[in-house]
Amino acid sequence: MIAADLVAWTRLLAFTADAEVLATCEPKALRYRLLHVPARLIHGQRRRRLKIPETWPWAAAIVAVFANIAAIPWSA
């Protein structure tokens, strides 16, 4: 039940605008598209960056999901 709730809330909060392509996916397809990204973690300039290849079909949607999650305000 927790996993189903987490998927539902993530769809409501993060899969908007450019990420709407992923909002209609089944949970199995969603896991595949998010967890099988051929990305590299890059360290430099005191920051960590996730480098996603532009050739990955859902690269723009995944970047939009991370941006939407980062834009959620912290509670006080």
Q: How far apart (Å, rounded) are the C-alpha atoms in residues 27 and 55?
A: 23
**Beta-carbon contacts of residue 48 (< 8 Å; ≥ 6 apart):** 41, 42
Residue 76: inside a domain? no
Tally of structural domains, the chain:
1
**Does residue 6 lie in a domain region?**
yes
- The pTM for the full model equals 0.76
DSSP type of residue 17: G
Q: For 14-61, write each residue's pLDDT tens digit.
A: 988 888 888 888 989 988 988 899 999 999 999 999 899 989 999 999
In a domain, 43, yes or no: yes
In this structure, the strands spanning 40-44 and 47-51 are antiparallel
Domain boundaries, position 19: 1-71
- Is residue 76's pLDDT more than 80? no
